[in-house]
Structure 1
Amino acid sequence: MEKRRVVITGLGAVTPMGNDTKSLWKNVVAGKSGIDFVTKVDKDEFPTKIAAEVKDFDPTHYMEKKDARKMDPFTQYAVASSKMAVEDAKLTIDDSNAHRVGVWIGSGIGGMSTWEDQHEKYLNKGARRVSPFFVPMMIPDMAAGQVSIQLGAKGINSCTVTACASGANSIGDAFKSVQRGDVDYIIAGGTEAPISNMSFAGFSSAKALSTAEDPQKASRPFDKERDGFVMGEGAGILVLETLETALERGAHIYGEIVGYGATGDAYHITAPAEHGEGAARAMQHALDDAGINPNEIDYINAHGTSTALNDKYETEAIKTVLGDHAQNVSISSTKSMMGHLLGAAGGVEAIISVKSIEDGIIPPTINYENPDPDCDLDYVPNEARKQDVNVVVSNSFGFGGHNVALVFKKYE
């Protein structure tokens, strides 16, 4: 069976760097940081005092107030971003095509704040005071479900839950769904709203979060002084469709998605496999799927979490797959600016990857000040770089040993 070409025609985002793709991209290119002292939990209760929070988001700009009340913030972010992406794609969903429009949106955790609020009600006021909307507000697949309802998309409706790889896995799975002909259009990406007491407590106990005192300097991927990731929130959504439908509609084509690789480490529940073995296989699978030679890669949007093992082993994985070309490829971690959006990271970073192709600009890794001998590649330090970008690999890895690589290419 001939594989159909799949292109990106719509982008939508809610992030700590801005609540639309234009603001997100402008601030990323400028190297601005969206990280500050946390406000959604009492910072004095935790060793970590900082987070990358979504700011000034009003869900009623995108949905009825009565609907918003029945959604956890992670679902609100997804609905808003999806509506932006569909509008950007100028895609009309009606009876003529609804059954050919799918939704595939991942979330690593789901409705954490809903869970906490309702658990507190249960403890203080009893079982009868728990909301009847508790379960449908909390479960991770409800972002995809609500997007489908809000937009009338009746094709495949799914949610991939693979921790911090959820958004990238969902885009990859959605890509394959269009490529093999299950649907013609699909709304895909990731969403997360994890900034809650339990999340902060859990990640703090695992010693995964940065305890730096200066929010602007806390996330420092590949830097020798990195001490953990900064928790973020938001959503990143893309509209994928067949090249044929995009041309028929006269749609703007941001780029083409051409490769998807996914592997498991079979190693440890939180630590990456030694030497980035699983990550390297995911990258290689994605390149093989795309029919791309390693020396054709211009830019790698790294997972780059600002943790000791991830940054070291991701660097090793890149060297394994790219060989000598690893010394020439531009690499950056946009988590240096917006923190780690967990299950939403892959969605937002896919948008950044596509924009880097369209505009010929590679975003920087900010806070790169102290070179680490274990991380000795070109991480585009501190300032964006103008460069012709034809092929981008975007990496995402997650607890449980999930590894994902996506390959985006300039449309020709």
Structure 2
Amino acid sequence: MTIVCTGYGIFAPDTRNIEQYLYNLQNGVCLLKVIENGGPNGQSNILGPIQEELKEIDSDHKLKRLPKATKIGIVAAKEAIKSSRIDMKNKKVGLFMGTSLGAAAEKLYQDAIQYANNKEYRKVPIRFSHFSNYHGITAEIGYYIGVKGIVKTIVTGCTSSLEAIEEAMLYLESGKIDVAIVGGTDTPICNATTYAFAKTKSLPINQTLEEGAVPFQKSSKGFAMSEAAGVIILEREEEAVQREADIKGEIVNVVSNNDGIDIFSSDESGEQLINALKEVTAGRKPDYINSQALGIQLNDQIEKKCSKLLFDHKIPYTSIKSMYGNPLGASGILQVISALLSVQYNFIPPTIRTTKQGFEEMNIITQTTYQEIKEVAITNHGHSGNNACAYIKEYRTK
């Protein structure tokens, strides 16, 4: 059975729609910022915050009360539905959203915890029960786009949105649903996450944009935490063709697994990511790898292992995290949408800012490359050891 994408939507730093996303990818625009006093002890930090006002949402009293992660998820979902031109009446629709921290980084959540710890119970807002429930994000997105059927939330760290696609495909293939609205949303930036990641030495504290949060560069000391939401519409090929949909591409497969080690450890072998990428490519030769490399040396070295063992460094690699950072649970869906745009517009987005120091033997794309793109493999890795890889193809009528 062939599963195709018929629509997409996005909300990311300085990126309100697909057109802006395409422009930024093609032109290698850096959407990250050095934030002074963004570190745990007043140091600088590199982040990718969404700083735009949400006027069209905050003008609605009910929407204004929602977590930021929910708001940007609604915007992305609405754009995806509009892009697909689908009429969901009389169809079995499923909504599948991935997240990593949900609304746990939002001010209301943080304040409520403090009030509770101080036994100031009257100050704990009634909305806290919804903010602390990850599934509340998906449920509220479902309400605002009119989905009452299958509504699922996937919480597996940075791989969440890719694994949401994996689950959505199973529902489509089984016939339980006709349409899948699937993606991820995360707004993880706050003091708690900054302090926690700083303790593990995985943030680019006191580094410039030339040094830090740079994939495939030895000098980078960590990743740029960012915010984003992305959503795609998936359908079975026959239904999409029957309604004359504008098919963006084919989702061939998603494979996920776990390193199976203690969560306070790191798997330096990369064995399970290599296994997932090997399985999802299944002997195919992708035109390039849309990599999860993000500026953490261990992760990026595992990508180098994948490149050598599976492709002998002959397949081009790139990482859009050099532009957009790592929006945790939304990172995979951003990679999928960028891959779909690649096969539509025939280009490889660049890994900007890197000098390839320490990764010279890899075939890393540092300038936008226009060529025929028919197939793209995607790699993704998350906190707690989950790995997920996807394979995207150009759609051709049979």
Provide the secondary structure at the position in 1 that maps to 2:245: coil
1:185 corresponds in structure 2 to 179
Shift of residue 148, structure 1, vs aligned partner: 1.3
Q: Is the 8 A contact 1:262 1:402 kept in 2?
A: yes
Q: 2:94 aligns with which of 69, 86, 102?
A: 102
Shift of residue 359, structure 1, vs aligned partner: 0.5
Give the direction of change, closer, same or farther, for the CA distance of 1:10–1:302 in structure 2 (3 Å limit): same
Provide the secondary structure at the position in 2 that maps to 1:394: strand
Structure 2 gaps, min length 5 = none
Provide the secondary structure at the position in 2 that maps to 1:392: strand
**Structure 2 CA distance, aligned partners of 1:83 and 1:62?**
12
**Structure 1 CA distance, aligned partners of 2:226 and 2:297?**
19
TM-score norm. by structure 2 comes to 0.93
Q: Is the 8 A contact 2:215 2:351 kept in 1?
A: yes
Provide the secondary structure at the position in 1 that maps to 2:134: coil
1:352 corresponds in structure 2 to 338
**Structure 2 CA distance, aligned partners of 1:64 and 1:17?**
20
Q: Is the 8 A contact 2:307 2:315 kept in 1?
A: no
Say which structure is richer in helix.
Answer: 1
Indicate whether 1:36 and 2:36 are aligned: no
1:398 corresponds in structure 2 to 382
Q: Is the 8 A contact 2:188 2:226 kept in 1?
A: yes
Q: 1:171 aligns with which of 165, 172, 184?
A: 165
**Structure 1 CA distance, aligned partners of 2:86 and 2:265?**
41
Query: Can you list the C-alpha shifts for 1:130-179, whole angstroms capped at 9, x where unaligned?
Result: 11111212322222211211111233211111111111111121122212
Shift of residue 43, structure 1, vs aligned partner: 5.1
Q: Is the 8 A contact 1:357 1:410 kept in 2?
A: yes
Structure 1 gaps, min length 5 = none
Query: Between the two proteins, what is the percent identity of the paired residues?
Result: 26
Q: 1:92 aligns with which of 83, 87, 90?
A: 87
Provide the secondary structure at the position in 1 that maps to 2:273: helix
Provide the secondary structure at the position in 1 that maps to 2:184: strand
Q: Is the 8 A contact 2:288 2:315 kept in 1?
A: yes
Q: Is the 8 A contact 2:57 2:64 kept in 1?
A: no
Shift of residue 196, structure 1, vs aligned partner: 0.8
**Structure 1 CA distance, aligned partners of 2:142 and 2:155?**
18
Shift of residue 299, structure 1, vs aligned partner: 1.3
Runs of 4+ in structure 1 over 3 Å off: 41-48, 120-125
Shift of residue 235, structure 1, vs aligned partner: 0.6
Shift of residue 42, structure 1, vs aligned partner: 5.4
Query: Can you list the C-alpha shifts for 1:323-361, whole angstroms capped at 9, x where unaligned?
Result: x3xx22111011011111111101111100110111001
Provide the secondary structure at the position in 1 that maps to 2:126: coil
**Structure 2 CA distance, aligned partners of 1:360 and 1:351?**
14
**Structure 2 CA distance, aligned partners of 1:307 and 1:44?**
19
Provide the secondary structure at the position in 2 that maps to 1:321: helix
Shift of residue 371, structure 1, vs aligned partner: 2.4
1:68 corresponds in structure 2 to 63
Shift of residue 13, structure 1, vs aligned partner: 0.6
**Structure 1 CA distance, aligned partners of 2:138 and 2:221?**
34
Indicate whether 1:16 and 2:13 are aligned: yes
Shift of residue 47, structure 1, vs aligned partner: 3.6
Q: How many positions carry a matched residue from both structures?
A: 394
Provide the secondary structure at the position in 2 that maps to 1:235: strand
Provide the secondary structure at the position in 1 that maps to 2:205: coil
2:243 corresponds in structure 1 to 249
